Amino acid sequence: MFMIFCDDWGMAKRYRPVDRDQAFLFPPDMRDWLSAEHPVHLVIRVVEQHLDTSALHALRRTGGAGTAGYDPDMLVTVLIWAYAHQVTSSRRIEQLCHTDVAFRLICAGNLPDHVTFARFRAAFPGPVGSLFAQVLALCAALGMGRLGVVALDGTKIAAPASKSANRTEDKLRKMAAETVARHGETDAAEDELFGQGRRGDEVPEDVWSPRDRDGRISAALAGLERQRAAAGAGHRETCEEFLAGAAAGTPRMGPPPAGTEVELARMQVERATAAQQAKIDDWDERNAQSLARAGRGLRNPPRRPASQHVRVREAQARLQRAIARQAAAAARAAEKEKSRKGPGPVRNITDPDSRLMPVRGGGFIQGYNAQNVASEDGLIIATCLTQDTGDTTWLKPMTQAAEAAAALITARQPPATAGSDKPGSDEASGDAWRRTGYRPDGAGGYDGPIGLLLADAGYCSEDNITTAGPPRLIATGKLRDLERKARAQDGPDGTASPATTAMAGLLQTEDGITAYRHRGHISETPHGDIKHNKRFRQLSVRGLAKASAEWQFTATTANLFKAISTGHLTSQALDNLAAQAR
């Protein structure tokens, strides 16, 4: 018996023809290669018509020697589009300018190489701040920038450097010595070969390039020395202020700084000795007057010199104890340094400005700490790239930057939206904050554009809570702990400072919890967009100045595409702005 199976594979199918010899006629206008709704048209129009790029045009040449340069407007548009679409490599951008329709449209037939993009991006530290402010003003003119509640947060961003490239100061000094010796041998060989003297085309000694390993070693060593000198100078200044106050009879509150205990004890000995000697001198003077007047002296003369008085001996005993404690502390510090397992302060010889940054979940990355203030609708209104591993010292400078940006936003917003999200509006967060009635010291009369500033526990300090500025909620612990205490009706434990205790109590109220719950969404959404959607997790350039410019450019791109994704930035909206300008 024979069985015949018939399946679809045995039957003829109809396919679309694959004819690679087919000739096509592209539209003569490159802008028609993509639909009119494609966002690349908006980006091109924003750069050409709504941004002042004169600072970019003032940069050095943007092309090869002896040829016409590339238009800076075109180059910055390419970089904006590339950063928004997860591309930061100059070589990859060059490839896409040949193969991707959107990139080709931006270039308009010009195809810059990767060196042009790299050089152009390296010059960003000057003009990028102006671009950030202009895009922020454009977003405000489109109705964005809700300032009822803003949030400050930091995020760690990796540098283009490996953790294994960190070296201790001893190792850096050894490497620097080897470099000097090697250069000396080379110079001697060249002098013997070419004779004494300089050629006249040497690179200046104060210039170092990220590609120059010897220069990076020197920069890393100099950074460690500056840090140690700054720390020492700061400690000396604190000690001098404390001792000056003690000498003037107006000592500062709190424990004395380390290293001042012996000097304070010595002051007490001198003060006690002087006081007792003054009593002896006073008795001698009165005794001399009595002898001259009545012919007889006073009774009960001082039985011992000032140095033997009981109070002086007690002060001297305290001095000896202070000297012993200082010696013991020095011995403990030396033993701790000797038995230390870690390498101590280090610097990276690939990017000397980067630092080892602790990250959530444990571990470290080699990078920087980016500080951002975000508005309620997701705009980054202030940003700064820092070398600090912690956040505490950055609340005041970032608040000042945020207030300046908020003033710019308020001035550029259309009348229909300006001020609509101030505290007391119908927004849940703003209304909850209004009901708390809390104002930090110095903020009772605050009438600025920011309604409420939210920050996590990394910014909690007495100074940050009480300093003048907009009203704020700064977490004194994790939100879940605060809410659990509120449900259990537990008050603050009273061990913290008064301002911190008051802030903890406020965060345990229903209104405080309601307002603070907005922090995570407001502050962390821009970070998620940059790191996850745009996949910008590592900087492409080295050195704090260039890295800061690249981060600020990334924030500029994020704001621009936030306006596009939310529907605020459209062709009609740009037409309306152009009509208003006329």
Residue 518 belongs to some domain of the structure: yes
Could you tell me the CA-to-CA distances from 197 to 39, 200, 224 in Å, in that order?
Answer: 60, 9, 34
Task: Give the distance, in angstroms, between the CA of residue 150 and the centroid of all CA atoms in the same chain.
Answer: 17
What pLDDT score does 26 carry?
76
Cα distance between residue 521 and residue 454, in whole Å = 11
pLDDT confidence of residue 482? 57
Rounded distance, CA 275 to CA 311, Å?
A: 10
Q: Are residues 327 and 360 in the same domain?
A: no
Residue 281 lies in a domain: yes
- pLDDT tens for 549-577 read 999 999 999 999 999 999 999 999 998 98
pLDDT at 181 over 60: no
∠ CA 127-129-131, nearest 5°, is 75
pLDDT of residue 496: 60
C-alpha 460/C-alpha 501 separation (Å) is: 11
Q: Are residues 267 and 180 in the same domain?
A: yes
- Domain co-membership, 364 together with 484: yes
pLDDT at 227: 65
Q: Is the pLDDT of residue 175 over 80?
A: no
The CA-based diameter of the chain, rounded to the nearest angstrom, is 158
Most confident of 258-267, 461-470, 473-482, 523-532: 523-532
- Which residues constitute the domain of residue 186? 164-194+208-350
Residue 500 has a pLDDT of 84
- Assigned token pair, 77: 């548009």
Residue-wise pLDDT for 355-407, tens only, equals: 888 888 888 889 999 999 999 999 999 999 999 988 999 999 999 999 999 99
**Does some domain include residue 186?**
yes
If asked whether residues 343 and 368 sit together in one domain, one would say: no
Looking at the domain assignment, is residue 17 inside a domain? no
Same domain, 394 and 452: yes
Confidence at 425, pLDDT banded by 50, 70, 90: very low
One domain for residues 300 and 215: yes
Q: Are 380 and 570 in contact (CB under 8 A)?
A: no
Half-sphere exposure of residue 194, counting CA atoms within 13 Å on the CB side? Answer: 8
Overall number of domains in the chain: 3
Q: What is the pLDDT of residue 213?
A: 64
Residue with tokens 């969404």: 521
Residue 12 lies in a domain: no
* Residue 45 pLDDT: 93
Are residues 376 and 443 both part of a single domain? yes
- Do 104 and 173 lie in one domain? The reply is no
| Together in a domain, 371 and 475 | yes
DSSP secondary-structure letter at 437? -
Q: Is residue 522 in a domain? A: yes
Same-domain status, 339 and 440 = no
Boundary residue ending a domain (350, 381, 411): 350
324 and 410 part of one domain: no
Shared domain for 238 and 381, answered yes or no, is: no
Q: Would the pLDDT of 33 be above 70? A: yes
Which one has a higher pLDDT value, 496 or 543?
543
Of 297, 329, 350, which closes a domain? 350
Residue type, 137: A
Q: At what angle do helices 213-247 and 261-294 cross, to 10 degrees?
A: 30
**Short-list 115, 84, 80, 109, CA closest to 97:** 109
Give me the pLDDT at residue 479, please: 57
pLDDT mean across residues, the chain: 79
Strand pairing category for 380-386 and 355-358: unpaired
Domain boundary among 328, 350, 372: 350
Taking only the tens place, the pLDDT of each residue in 273-311 is 888 888 888 888 888 888 888 887 788 888 778 888 888
The β-bridge relationship of strands 364-374 and 150-158 is antiparallel
Res 454: pLDDT: 94
**Burial state string for 134-167 with b = 16 or more CB within 10 A and e = fewer than 16:** bbbbbbbbbbbbbbbbbbbbbbbbbbbbebebbb
Residue 2 domain flag: no
CA 144, 148, 152: angle at the middle one, nearest 5? 90
8 Å CB contact between 268 and 315: yes
What does the pLDDT look like over 454-477, one tens digit per residue? 999 899 988 888 888 899 999 987
Q: Which residues contact 411 (CB under 8 A, 6 or more apart)?
A: 140
Q: Is the pTM of this model over 0.85?
A: no
Q: Is 391 inside any structural domain?
A: yes
pLDDT, tens digit, 9 for 90 and up, residues 74-120: 999 999 999 999 999 999 999 999 999 999 999 988 889 999 898 88
